[in-house]
Structure 1
């Protein structure tokens, strides 16, 4: 399917796209940065890693060999929480989103409409008061403290480079960039 956009400057930007796994990975990463709960969970995980590394380093102060078991556990925590878990979440979100085939979106002064074979949803700007820009997407985020909802708008769904700028301008006009 060809991806393209039509733009009327200052009024609306239309998008057509297939959701990609990388879109979901970037969106979930942006959501994690915006969510207080996710930031706290990451801090807690880092404290756990630091504790395991510290426990393995204590024997070094006494001139003994480090506790390799603690180092291995710290490494596993890092891999699980910061590599495997985000990859698995993006994979699952992509699997769910791609079931609905091609997406079309419309962003205008009233909000955002996203449609696919499964239906459509219309968000006014109050429902998504924030957005984050990633290298490949714009991610609209809900205003609750856990950022429970997100809407992904891939930049590749916009045909002309100027239309990406028009979309950014529309978003900046109505909601706050994080």
Structure 2
């Protein structure tokens, strides 16, 4: 997975949105943090494994062949992967905003994710909850790179826990990034 390329693509999308929506100079970090929290919750909802009260706890990995009300991304795709990639968009935006998009930091994140891969069997429920608490911590530690590094590292490992390969994640990111640009052209 080429994280550097995805950071760059996300920056291009974010710059476009800021320019077209007249958001220059505004502190968008609180919006991005809240958006990431919402998307993580949506991803957990598509995973469904925490719903001990339900008989339907299987992850939503297949969509019926229909177009979603808000766009063309879900046409028989994988809703769980789609929500995971929505999270990726926002975590990359936050990294760009905080300046953690340089090659040294990205390599550090990848190394940490690989080193901690042995520890990822904590359970998906705990992985989601831990990641959400780290993301909440952005409000209090926005300038500390360790919080962001840990968050992205844990996010990448969550993808592994959910069964996604780096290639699947990158391909889904590329597709959704193109959809997001299309949505901007259409006045989303």
Q: TM-score, normalised by structure 1?
A: 0.25
Tell me: higher relative CO, structure 1 or 2? Use CA pairs within 8 A at least 6 residues apart.
1
Q: Larger radius of gyration, structure 1 or 2? A: 1
Bigger proportion of residues as helix: 2
